[in-house]
A and B are shown apart, each in its own frame.
Chain A
Amino acid sequence: MNPDDALHESPDENRRRTIVDMLVDGEAVDKSALRDALNDAGTRDYFIDALLLRQLAVAMAPNTFRAEARPPAPAARVLRWSAAAVAALTTAVAGYTLGREHTVPPTVSESRTVEAARPSVPAPEPTRTIRFEPGKNWISSMEGQ
Chain B
Amino acid sequence: MKAQALFTAHRDGVFRYLTRIVGPSEASDLTQEVFLRVTRAAVPETTRNGERAWVFSIARNLALNHQRDRDRRPETVALDDAARPASQDTAVAMRQALGRLAPLDRDVFVLREVVGLSYDEIAGSCDLTADAVRARLRRSRVQLRDALAPLLLNGSTPSVRLYEP
Show the binding face of A for B, using Cβ within 8 Å. 1, 3-7, 17-18, 21, 24-26, 46, 48-66, 69-71
With a cutoff of 8 Å between Cβ atoms, the chain A residues found around residue B144 in the complex are 53
Q: Is B123 positioned at the interface, with any CB of A under 8 Å from its CB?
A: no
Shortest Cβ distance from B134 into A: residue: A21
How many contacts between A and B, using CB within 8 angstroms? 107
**B90 engages A66 (CB within 8 Å):** no
Show the binding face of B for A, using Cβ within 8 Å. 11-12, 14-16, 19-20, 24, 27-28, 31-32, 87, 90-91, 94-95, 98, 102, 105, 109-110, 112-114, 118-119, 132, 134-139, 141-145, 148, 151-152, 155, 157, 160-162, 164-165
Shortest Cβ distance from A4 into B: residue: B135
- Interface SS of chain B: helix, strand, loop or mixed? helix
**A62 engages B160 (CB within 8 Å):** no
Shortest Cβ distance from B112 into A: residue: A25
With a cutoff of 8 Å between Cβ atoms, the chain A residues found around residue B109 in the complex are 57
Known: A46-B145, A53-B113, A54-B113. A60 touches B137 (CB 8 A): no
Known: A3-B136, A60-B20, A62-B19. A53 touches B141 (CB 8 A): yes
